[in-house]
Amino acid sequence: MKIIRDWGLKEFIKQKSKKSLGIALIVAIALTGGTTYWLQRQSADKSSEPQYEQAQVKKEDIIVGLDSDGTIDFSKVKLRFGVRGTIAEILVAEGDEIQKGQIIARLDDRDYQDQYQLALAKLQDAQDDDTISLLDSELKIKSMEADLEKLRDEYKEMETISDAYSTNELKMKKLELDNKEMEYQNLLKKYQLDKSKGLDQNELQVKMAKEDLEDTIVYAPVSGVLLNLANKAGESLTDEDDFATIHENKTIKAITKVIEYDIGQIKVGQKVYVNVEALPDKKFTGVVSKINALPEEDSSGLVNYSVEMTIKDPGPELKDGMTCSVSFVLKEVADCLTVPYKAVKMVNGKQMVTVVDEKGQQVERQIKTGFTDGTSVEVLEGLKNGETVIYAKPITTKTNATQQKTNSTSQTKRVIF
């Protein structure tokens, strides 16, 4: 009996311990869940509290326009020799300033000199032969003229004393005279034709040989900067190989594509701003110089039109092929006082902002605004440059953030006003 009681007491203590441990776990879980809920509530309450931002009143430009991605493009002229051959000498180097008409390089022209001299010799021989032939023709014409004149006199005499000759004799003499007249006219026409025809074929050969000889020299067709030389002296090339590239008149353009929905708002002469990814601290100004009238359709079926813009005062830091963004200016207000658009609120029909005064106090002030691009707004009255405004920061929900991220992936950005 004592053994049984001892076992029951131990079992009781063991069961009691298990029950206490279970209760402790339940309490710990409840406390953890409650703490998490409390922290979440605190975070939610804190996030629901308005957050404020400050901004200084400053002078800047407000621009409304169409933005598009593009590429920097140099106005380039590629040079070729007109004939094949071996480069004898190159008279310039990459980066040199080139003037229109300047000699860039020469080929070894010995073969072309020989061909030209041979063509000249053939032309001279042909001219000599032609002169002799014409002289022979002139002699034949003079001889035939004498024979013809003699026949005319004989026939005239026979007609005068026609009774002394039979009808058949008169008829034969007239036929002889007519044949001689025809022979003389044919000889005269042939002489005139040979004389007017000249030496077209031989002269053409001389002309072609001379052009080939001249094509062994490359001249600059425009002024500019030599960008590239594809070959060195001693190397061979053909008349289809590009030898050099000149940046024409240092003209630099930006090229972009504009969708058909927006192309109606783009005009030749329209002002643009160009920002280059590799030069983030610089903004270049330009004008629309060309709008391609022929459309280009991409794989998605979207119709675009190529637009060229000439950049003013580009500077040496711009390079051909650089990626850029182009802003076509639809409307612009330059050097005006601005505040963030979100800082302006309407109170009883009045435009108001919260200003931090000299004592650091927040005061409400009425202002008058003008133009806006949806981000900044022009201040016409009520604020001075350098003053500070304060405004509530909009609460961005997860859904709104996702939507903003989606919108930011659009290729063409548009401001509607």
> What backbone torsions phi and psi does residue 6 show, to the nearest 5 degrees?
-65, -40
Give percent above pLDDT 70 in the chain: 82
CA–CA dist 88, 76 (Å, integer):
25
Average pLDDT score over the chain:
83
Give percent above pLDDT 90 in the chain: 46
Range scoring the smallest mean pLDDT among 63-67, 195-199, 279-283, 373-377: 195-199
Q: Yes or no: say if 262 and 66 are a contact pair by the CB < 8 Å rule.
A: yes
Give SS3 for 192: helix
Residue type, 350: K
Higher pLDDT: 118 or 158? It is 118
CA–CA dist 337, 376 (Å, integer):
10
Beta bridge partners of 287: 271, 310
CA–CA dist 410, 417 (Å, integer):
19
pLDDT digits (tens, 9 = 90+) for 72-125: 999 899 999 999 999 999 999 999 999 999 999 999 999 999 999 999 998 888
Residue type, 6: D
Q: How many residues does the chain have?
A: 417
Please give the DSSP secondary-structure letter assigned to residue 278: T
pLDDT digits (tens, 9 = 90+) for 364-405: 999 999 989 888 999 999 899 989 999 987 765 554 544 444
Confidence check: pLDDT of 316 > 60: yes
Beta bridge partners of 297: 303
Residue environment code for 129-147, b if the CB has 16+ CB neighbours within 10 A, otherwise e: ebeeeeeebeeeeeebeee
Q: Give the dihedral sign, CA 270/271/275/276.
A: positive
Confidence check: pLDDT of 323 > 50: yes
Mean pLDDT of 301-316: 91
* 3-state secondary structure labels for all residues of 106-155: EECCHHHHHHHHHHHHHHHHHHHHHHHHHHHHHHHHHHHHHHHHHHHHHH
Instruction: Return the closest-CA partner of residue 249 out of 72, 71, 75.
Output: 75
Is residue 132 very low, low, confident or very high in pLDDT (cuts 50, 70, 90)? confident
Question: Which residues lie closer than 8 Å to 21 by C-beta, 6 or more apart?
Answer: none
CA–CA dist 100, 248 (Å, integer):
10
C-alpha triplet 78, 80, 86: angle, nearest 5°: 140
> What backbone torsions phi and psi does residue 415 show, to the nearest 5 degrees?
-110, 120
pLDDT digits (tens, 9 = 90+) for 169-213: 888 988 988 898 898 889 888 878 877 765 578 888 999 999 999
Q: Tell me what pLDDT residue 7 has.
A: 39
Higher pLDDT: 35 or 56? It is 56
Beta bridge partners of 192: none
